[in-house]
């Protein structure tokens, strides 16, 4: 029998030599080459952090999905490991789809969706999806143990298991498209990981357009439970749900044996262009940390010309506010990547553009704007800007719309459109920004909102501009750091 994992690893190495630096991330998780999408199997195990991801190693397009694998001692510096899973069995021969990792009495165990195409018909293909299990003795090489959960007759979309241990039982949530073509999350339980019983429909969307709830995750936070998921089928509504697919969270009360009682309806997790399939883990010090795919289905991906596609977001901590809203912030460990620093205070602009002459290929910024003394119609910062200013990603306050705008109309190859969040009703607006070679992540006012988007600037030199149009901008303080490459 062919060694499919060895072949896949060889393909990754073969194409890695064709990957260019222009868009490849300096401090985000990406494959050495090939395609990646959803993060899988996030776990702190044997004093290391493991992240797996959906991976097509043979080219830069989505294809027959494997599981890629990286590991870290600190959630910041990630090392590539061999591919963990390859489609090889009758029950997963067309893809090892998303899932999770657990510690089963010291055994690193992966639970994933096996995907088999029964009939090819484009978007109307007929397929079967089952939940499968694989184990590892060394945390690197995995042995498949077979199918552990099959769907009821007539259910085709049945994927993305997330498993956890509670009250001496294992629990699993799975995303489902039910017989009525509605998106749901189903709950199962088990004593031994191999024999599962259906418990209940944990949640479903009131929106009749939602036909699938992908990548569910269910966990306690504070005194509540949070369900994160990625609905498919939502229609755009004003400033909301502008991407093809969304990701968000629902807050409620739950305990084993009881229904999930919702206290906070579905809310978007991120308001940028490129955020999908979030998954969480518990850190060594018990923080709840989330990582997502920093792309979107059917989006423009110029990196594919360089034999790779797909990046994961920075790890972010989750906390629940007193009004059941998630506060989302970058992990503190990222400070270890900070290099050269510059601090600027008391900047006043009026109807001008100011070149800060700071390199923005890979950097971190904290920009504090005094809203009470800023009355410009549009005012903010141009990120990853070409020296002539013709190409940039604009992050600014629109005082007329009372919104914070992330506009990538001039961000580079194939980029269009903007995303936004409501302007916080505070005296100051703080924007915590991470820029990598082809991405921008913005954290608004200590995690009240985030905007995550890919960008593809063509300029080899990239700088930062402050600007104010038809009025004044006052920047109380700007902190800037160059960011070091996580790979050394």
Q: What is the pLDDT along the chain (488 residues), one digit of tens a residue?
A: 469 999 999 999 999 999 999 999 999 999 999 999 999 999 999 999 999 999 999 999 999 999 999 999 999 999 999 999 999 999 999 999 999 999 999 999 999 999 999 988 777 789 999 999 999 999 999 999 999 999 999 999 999 999 999 999 999 999 999 999 999 999 999 999 999 999 999 999 989 999 999 999 999 999 999 999 999 999 999 999 999 999 999 999 999 999 999 999 999 999 999 999 999 999 999 999 999 999 999 999 999 999 999 999 999 999 999 999 999 999 999 999 999 999 999 999 999 999 999 999 999 999 999 999 999 999 999 999 999 999 999 999 999 999 999 999 999 999 989 999 999 999 999 999 999 999 999 999 999 999 999 999 999 999 999 999 999 999 999 999 999 999 85
364 is in an annotated binding site: no
164 is in an annotated binding site: no
| 332/88 Cα distance (integer angstroms) | 40
Sign of CA dihedral 305, 310, 316, 318: positive
Hey, where are the domains in the chain? 1-330, 334-483
* Residue tagged active-site, from 38, 92, 94, 295: 38
Number of Cβ within 10 Å of residue 173's Cβ equals 26
- pLDDT score of 355: 95
Residues 66/55, Cβ–Cβ less than 8 Å: yes
- pLDDT score of 485: 97
Strand partners, 214: 230
Instruction: Report the CATH architecture of 1-330.
Output: 5 Propeller (2.115)
| 279/219 Cα distance (integer angstroms) | 11
> 38 catalytic, yes or no?
yes
441 is in an annotated binding site: no
426 is in an annotated binding site: no
253 is in an annotated binding site: no
Token pair 């702190």 is at which residue? 44
- pLDDT score of 93: 97
SS3 state of residue 124:
helix
103 is in an annotated binding site: no
Token pair 């393909």 is at which residue? 11
Give phi and psi for 86, each to the nearest 5: -130, 145
| 262/189 Cα distance (integer angstroms) | 21
- pLDDT score of 487: 86
- pLDDT score of 121: 73
Task: Confirm whether 1-330 and 334-483 share one CATH topology.
Answer: no
User: b/e string for 129-153 if b means 16 or more Cβ within 10 A?
Assistant: bbbbbbebeebeebebeebbbebee
DSSP-derived secondary structure for 366-385: EEEEEGGG---SEEEEEEEE
- pLDDT score of 2: 66
State both tokens at 174: 């799975």
**The CATH homologous superfamily of the domain defined by 334-483:** Exo-inulinase; domain 1 (2.60.120.560)
Q: What is the largest CA-CA distance in the chain?
A: 70
- pLDDT score of 206: 87
């Amino acid at each position: 029998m062919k060694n499919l994992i060895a072949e896949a690893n060889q393909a990754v190495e073969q194409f890695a030599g064709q990957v260019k630096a222009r868009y490849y991330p300096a401090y985000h998780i990406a494959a050495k080459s090939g395609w990646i999408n959803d993060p899988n199997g996030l776990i702190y195990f044997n004093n290391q952090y493991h992240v797996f991801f959906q991976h097509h190693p043979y080219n830069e397009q989505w294809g027959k999905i494997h599981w890629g694998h990286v590991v870290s001692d600190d959630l910041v510096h990630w090392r590539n490991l061999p591919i963990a899973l390859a489609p090889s069995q009758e029950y997963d021969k067309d893809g090892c789809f998303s899932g999770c990792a657990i510690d089963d009495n010291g055994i690193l165990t992966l639970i994933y969706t096996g995907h088999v195409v029964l009939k090819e018909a484009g978007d109307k293909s007929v397929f079967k999806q089952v939940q499968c299990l694989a184990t590892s003795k060394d945390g690197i090489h995995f042995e498949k143990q077979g199918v552990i959960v099959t769907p009821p007759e007539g259910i085709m979309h049945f994927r993305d298991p997330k498993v956890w241990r509670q009250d001496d039982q294992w629990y699993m949530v799975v995303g489902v498209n039910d017989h009525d073509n509605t998106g749901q999350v189903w709950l199962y339980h088990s004593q031994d990981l191999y024999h599962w019983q259906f418990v209940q429909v944990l949640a479903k969307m009131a929106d009749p357009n939602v036909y699938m709830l992908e990548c569910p995750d269910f966990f306690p936070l504070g005194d509540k439970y949070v369900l994160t998921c990625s609905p498919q089928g939502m229609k755009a509504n004003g400033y909301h749900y502008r991407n093809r697919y969304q990701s968000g969270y629902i807050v409620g009360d739950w305990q084993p044996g009881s229904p999930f009682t919702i206290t906070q309806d579905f809310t978007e997790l991120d308001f940028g262009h490129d955020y999908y399939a979030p998954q969480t883990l518990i850190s060594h010090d018990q923080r709840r940390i989330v990582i997502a795919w920093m792309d979107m289905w059917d989006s423009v991906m110029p990196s594919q010309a360089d034999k790779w596609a797909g990046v994961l977001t920075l790890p972010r901590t989750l906390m629940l506010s007193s009004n059941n809203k998630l506060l989302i912030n970058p992990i503190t460990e990222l400070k270890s990547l900070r290099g050269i620093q510059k601090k600027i205070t008391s900047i006043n602009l009026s109807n001008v553009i100011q070149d800060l002459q700071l390199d923005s290929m890979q950097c971190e910024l904290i920009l504090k704007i005094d809203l009470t003394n800023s009355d410009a119609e549009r005012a903010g910062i141009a990120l990853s800007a070409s020296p002539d200013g013709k190409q940039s990603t604009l992050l600014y306050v629109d005082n007329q719309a009372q919104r914070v705008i992330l506009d990538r109309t001039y961000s580079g190859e194939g980029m269009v459109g903007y995303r936004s969040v409501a302007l916080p009703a505070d005296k100051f607006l703080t924007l915590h920004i991470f820029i990598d070679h082809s991405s921008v992540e913005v954290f608004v006012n200590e995690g009240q909102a985030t905007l995550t988007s890919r960008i593809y600037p063509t300029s080899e030199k990239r700088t930062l501009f402050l600007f104010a149009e038809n009025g004044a901008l006052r920047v109380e303080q700007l902190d800037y750091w160059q960011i070091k490459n996580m790979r050394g």
